[in-house]
């Protein structure tokens, strides 16, 4: 049978009031307080809050907005002066007292040391932010890249390190990234990869996924709209290696298909306008086509002239390490037999002795004049590593044909003309002489442009190396 329960009849009473009694008393007190609050006016409640704020023990009352009156009226009415506001919470500053730190504790030391190790592990390209072992190339101004060691910098570098996998895994998210992140992503691909940017890389960043119908149906998600604020495109070291200039031109500026007839579409302008492809980067202003010196001979100036016709709004251009302008680069040593005279004549516009013996820069001047007519909005031109054809910038082709520094290129204010390589301490006499000769060429171009403009155009500055002791 079950055991009986023994209840202690004489148990010790509780030292505290039961919870039910306490809650009942609290409700009674709250009800009494509410009744008293209703009976009192608003001014009495505010006065009570002020007294509580002045004489409160440890816990400050919230600031009460008090009306202010002119000093004369306050003296007549004998109103006490308004107390000054409470001091603000001190702002956390850095070690030097001038840098405001973010909220929260400082980052662990392991994070900072890991960022330094990550920079040493990644394979960097030859052209990186203007410093390399064998040649130098300053970056284009006006681009806002992440600061070194920042969180975005570390994330992008790690992202680029696994780019082939990330390109497939994040293919539905790359297109909707903010523009400044996509600009930085392409710049990091150029900097931290061996081959630079390819056409498939640009398609993954600048074009929507083809298997998502929402991107094709919504006009607000069209590439020309989503890339409207894309102003900077860094392709340094990519053109001539992983990217061809002709395919880049067809990608950014799709050619119009030949099956569209304007006469047949006269009554349907919507269908006609929909059939015309729009440029991918309509507001591109900064473009870097700097070459890798090892692959500079595989580039075509003919393709550049065709590509430049689509870029009238370009203001900053880099042609670092481009070879001398010519339309027949493989015919420099070729000759043909003239049927009229029976003599052998030069096949191309530039021969093996055109510059050294004849001082002939006619072909280079004509090509640069054609380029200036298309890029008439340039304000910044980088010609680092192009010292072989610096004399073409001041030469005269006869009948006044020179590079147009007053008309088409009259807006250029900055010319970057570094030799393109570093002069080591153990360099020979001939190498040192050639190095400073290129610097003198840059100074001569500066004097020539200023003389041609004669104080009427914009003031031009040529950036180049300085001699020892030069200010």
Report the 3 state secondary structure along 16-56.
CCCHHHHHHHHHHHHHHHHHHHHHCCHHHHHHHHHHHHHHC
pLDDT higher than threshold 70 for residue 124: no
The number of helix segments (H) and strand segments (E) in the chain equals: 15, 8
What is the Cα–Cα distance from 68 to 74, expressed in whole angstroms? Answer: 9
Residues 83-90 have a mean pLDDT of: 64
From 114-118, 196-200, 218-222, 440-444, the region with the lowest mean pLDDT:
114-118
Residue 161 belongs to what H/E stretch? helix 151-161
State the greatest distance between any 2 C-alpha atoms of the chain, in Å, as a whole number. Answer: 140
What is the Cα–Cα distance from 50 to 44, expressed in whole angstroms? Answer: 10
- Selected residue with higher pLDDT from 204 and 105: 204
Tens-place pLDDT, residues 406-463: 999 999 999 999 998 888 878 888 888 899 999 999 999 999 999 999 877 789 999 9
Q: How many CA atoms lie within 13 A of 188 on its CB side?
A: 26
Residues whose CB falls within 8 Å of the CB of residue 160, separated by 6 or more in sequence, listed in order: 122, 185, 188, 189, 192, 193
What is the Cα–Cα distance from 350 to 330, expressed in whole angstroms? Answer: 10
What is the Cα–Cα distance from 392 to 367, expressed in whole angstroms? Answer: 10
Whether 306 contacts 249, CB under 8 Å = yes
Tens-place pLDDT, residues 266-316: 444 444 344 567 889 999 999 999 998 877 667 889 999 999 999 999 999
pLDDT at position 293 is: 82
First to last CA, the chain: 110
- Selected residue with higher pLDDT from 404 and 62: 404
pLDDT at position 224 is: 86
Whether 198 contacts 243, CB under 8 Å = yes
- Selected residue with higher pLDDT from 62 and 69: 69
């Amino acid at each position: 049978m079950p055991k009986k329960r023994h209840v202690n009849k004489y148990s010790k009473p509780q030292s505290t009031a039961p919870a039910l009694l306490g809650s009942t008393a609290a409700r009674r007190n709250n009800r009494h307080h509410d009744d008293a609050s209703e009976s009192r006016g608003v001014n009495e409640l505010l006065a009570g809050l002020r007294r509580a704020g002045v004489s409160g023990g440890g816990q400050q009352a919230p600031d009460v907005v008090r009306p202010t009156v002119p000093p004369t009226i306050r003296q007549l009415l004998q109103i006490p002066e308004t107390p000054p506001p409470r001091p603000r919470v001190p702002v956390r500053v850095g070690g030097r007292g001038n840098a405001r730190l973010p909220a929260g504790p400082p980052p662990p030391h392991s994070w900072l040391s890991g960022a330094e190790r990550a920079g040493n592990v990644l394979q960097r390209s030859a052209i990186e932010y203007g410093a390399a072992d064998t040649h130098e190339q300053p970056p284009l101004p006006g681009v806002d890249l992440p600061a070194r060691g920042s969180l975005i910098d570390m994330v992008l570098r790690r992202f680029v390190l696994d780019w082939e996998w990330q390109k497939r895994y994040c293919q539905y998210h790359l297109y909707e990234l903010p523009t400044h992140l996509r600009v930085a992503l392409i710049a990091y691909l150029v900097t931290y990869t061996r081959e630079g940017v390819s056409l498939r890389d640009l398609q993954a960043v600048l074009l929507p996924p083809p298997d998502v119908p929402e991107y094709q149906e919504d006009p607000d998600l069209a590439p020309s709209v989503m890339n409207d604020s894309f102003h900077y495109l860094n392709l340094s070291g990519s053109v001539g290696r992983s990217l061809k200039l002709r395919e880049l031109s067809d990608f950014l500026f799709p050619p119009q298909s030949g099956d569209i007839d304007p006469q047949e579409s006269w009554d349907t302008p919507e269908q006609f306008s929909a059939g015309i492809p729009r440029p991918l980067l309509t507001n591109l202003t900064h473009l870097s086509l700097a070459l890798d010196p090892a692959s500079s001979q595989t580039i075509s100036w003919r393709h550049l002239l065709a590509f430049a016709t689509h870029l009238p709004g370009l203001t900053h251009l880099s042609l670092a390490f481009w070879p001398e302008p010519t339309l027949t680069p493989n015919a420099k040593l070729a000759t043909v037999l003239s049927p009229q005279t029976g003599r052998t004549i030069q096949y191309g516009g530039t021969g093996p002795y055109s510059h050294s013996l004849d001082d002939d820069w006619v072909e280079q001047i004509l090509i640069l004049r054609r380029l200036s007519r298309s890029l008439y909005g340039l304000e910044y031109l980088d010609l680092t590593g192009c010292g072989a054809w610096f004399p073409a910038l001041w030469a005269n082709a006869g009948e006044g044909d020179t590079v147009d520094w007053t008309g088409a290129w009259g807006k250029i204010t900055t010319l970057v003309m570094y030799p393109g390589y570093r002069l080591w301490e153990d360099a020979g006499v001939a190498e040192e002489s050639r190095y400073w000769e290129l610097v003198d060429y840059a100074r001569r171009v500066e004097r020539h442009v200023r003389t041609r403009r004669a104080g009427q155009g914009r003031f031009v500055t040529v950036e180049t190396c300085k001699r020892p002791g030069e200010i």
